[in-house]
Chain A
Amino acid sequence: SQTIHQWPATLVQPVGSPLSLECTVEGTSNPNLYWYRQAAGRGLQLLFYSVGIGQISSEVPQNLSASRPQDRQFILSSKKLLLSDSGFYLCAWSSPSGGNTIYFGEGSWLTVV
């Protein structure tokens, strides 16, 4: 069966420091990968999605970037964090062969202080 893991689960970082959140998927090949951010009362905002290695699409302009160095690895990064980057970040995957169902990781709480 397929599993998805993301880490760290919680992170407290000072303003201006870098960020790296990592996500890996097991049990499937060439998944579609996603990074979402969740803010209270605003639902889930899609930040990035990827359909293959090195292929990243950004949904919103922001202080963050994403990379996919390996087929089942998706990384969310920032060079300099802002206070507004605080939030709950969710990695997710879906099958490239159809089904359209998105499966989520456990989430990462980021607090920028």
Chain B
Amino acid sequence: AQSVTQPDIHITVSEGASLELRCNYSYGATPYLFWYVQSPGQGLQLLLKYFSGDTLVQGIKGFEAEFKRSQSSFNLRKPSVHWSDAAEYFCAVEPGGYQKVTFGTGTKLQVIP
């Protein structure tokens, strides 16, 4: 069965520092990959997605993610974190053809001054 792993439950970074959130998946083929962000008490907002093509994907709010097939990873990055980026981030995987998305357990990002 497909699975998504976000190994970091909680990450703290200083404002202005770079950020990388990890996501690994287990699935034979190349799935569709997503990153969502959730502010407390709100729904999830799509940051970016990868379907095919260029393995470096640009998203909203200055985020990007890189698909690495050899590592089955889709890590989210941001070169300089802002205090408003504090939220929970979810990686998601869909195997393609049937829209049944599996979500990771999320990574909570804390940003300190």
A residues neighboring B (CB under 8 Å): 32, 41-44, 46, 49, 88, 90, 94, 100-107, 109
Contacts and interface: CB of A to CB of B under 8 A. Distances in A.
A100 B94 contact: yes
B63 interface: no
Interface stretch (B14-22, B54-62, B77-85, B101-109): B101-109
Contacts of B49: 101
A41 B94 CA distance: 21
6 contacts: A43-B103, A43-B106, A100-B96, A100-B101, A102-B34, A106-B43
A49 B94 CA distance: 15
A76 to B, nearest CB: 15
B51 A100 contact: yes
Contacts of A94: 99
A41 B43 contact: no
B105 A102 contact: no
A87 to B, nearest CB: 13
The 10 lowest CB-CB distance pairs between A and B, nearest first, are: A104-B43, A43-B105, A44-B103, A104-B44, A43-B103, A106-B43, A100-B32, A107-B43, A100-B94, A105-B43
Given A101-B49, A104-B43, 18 more contacts: A32-B99, A41-B9, A41-B105, A41-B106, A43-B90, A43-B104, A43-B106, A46-B101, A88-B41, A94-B99, A100-B94, A100-B96, A101-B46, A102-B34, A103-B46, A104-B44, A105-B43, A109-B41
B69 interface: no
Contacts of A105: 43
Nearest to A103: B46
Contacts of B90: 43-44
